[in-house]
Amino acid sequence: MNDFKEFSSSEELAQNLAQNIALILEDSIKAYGQATLLVSGGNTPKLFFQKLSEINIAWKKVTIGLVDERWLENDSKDSNAFLVQERLLINFAKEARFVGLYVKGVSASSAQKICSKIYEKEFERTDVLVLGMGTDGHTASLFPNNERLKEAYDLTNDNFCICIEPKTAPYERMSLTLRKVLEAKNIILHIEGKEKLEVYRSAIEAKDIYKYPVSSVLNQTGKKIEVYYS
């Protein structure tokens, strides 16, 4: 079940998405004394990150992590950690706690269990998870027709993370498994542009989770996904 929200501009979308997530985080802080947020990388969330950072909530009680990461040092400009530090952990949000996926000195394949253990502890309850989507239908670092998708999709696989080596994109990656994505309390897909809208529509209609990995999230029976589009 998808709740599709369309906005007239990236600015309007970013503002609404930021306000919605801030409210969820505030509610969680009131209920549990803390809140958790998992975000994706790429160009699409940059404005949303900026807007969210400008909202004054109890950021000291918020832990932020990543849906996926390129296997690069955190100070590499191609890493999602760098993007989050530059675009989200600023303004009021600079007080939030960030937990990255990259483990220094360890290969991505060797770090799978390490990352899973860290994220299981830090994000046992994920209040909000924001996904992106590529024009090839990938989400997180779950890329089309990848040899590790079957393991990533296995809902009996209780590992938080899985190492993925894309055939159509650079760098080894660490990604959340489908099970851990779906366990998030609130799941949001953030997409922009006509090309991605067409991919989104194809993914829903085709329901081929190997051709369109985003389908593995969007077509779950009884799971509400909020879709923000401009």
Residue range 133-192, pLDDT digits in tens = 999 999 999 999 999 999 999 999 999 999 999 988 889 999 999 999 999 999 999 999
Orientation of helix 46-53 relative to helix 10-32, angle to 10° = 50
Q: What is the pTM of this model?
A: 0.97
Total domain count, the chain: 1
Provide the token pair at 71: 């296997």
Residue range 125-138, pLDDT digits in tens = 999 999 999 999 99
Whether residue 4 is predicted with pLDDT greater than 80 in this model: the reply is yes
CA 14/CA 149 separation, integer angstroms: 31
Helix (H) or strand (E) holding 130: strand 128-131
CATH code (residue 120): 3.40.50.1360
CB 179, CB 152: distance < 8 Å:
no
Give 211: exposed, middle or buried? Use CB within 10 Å, 0-12, 13-18, 19+. Answer: middle
Residue range 75-114, pLDDT digits in tens = 999 999 999 999 999 999 999 999 999 999 999 999 999 9
At residue 66, the pLDDT reads 98
For residue 21, give the nearest of 111, 76, 88 by alpha carbon. Answer: 88
Torsion over CA: 210, 211, 214, 219 (sign): negative
Residue range 109-128, pLDDT digits in tens = 999 999 999 999 999 999 99
**How would residue 221 be classed by pLDDT, with cut points 50, 70 and 90?**
confident
Residue range 37-68, pLDDT digits in tens = 999 999 999 999 999 999 999 999 999 999 99
The boundaries of the domain holding residue 40 are 2-229
Q: CB under 8 Å to 170, separation ≥6 — which residues?
A: 70, 78
Q: How far apart are the first and last CA of the chain?
A: 20
Percent of the chain with pLDDT over 70: 100
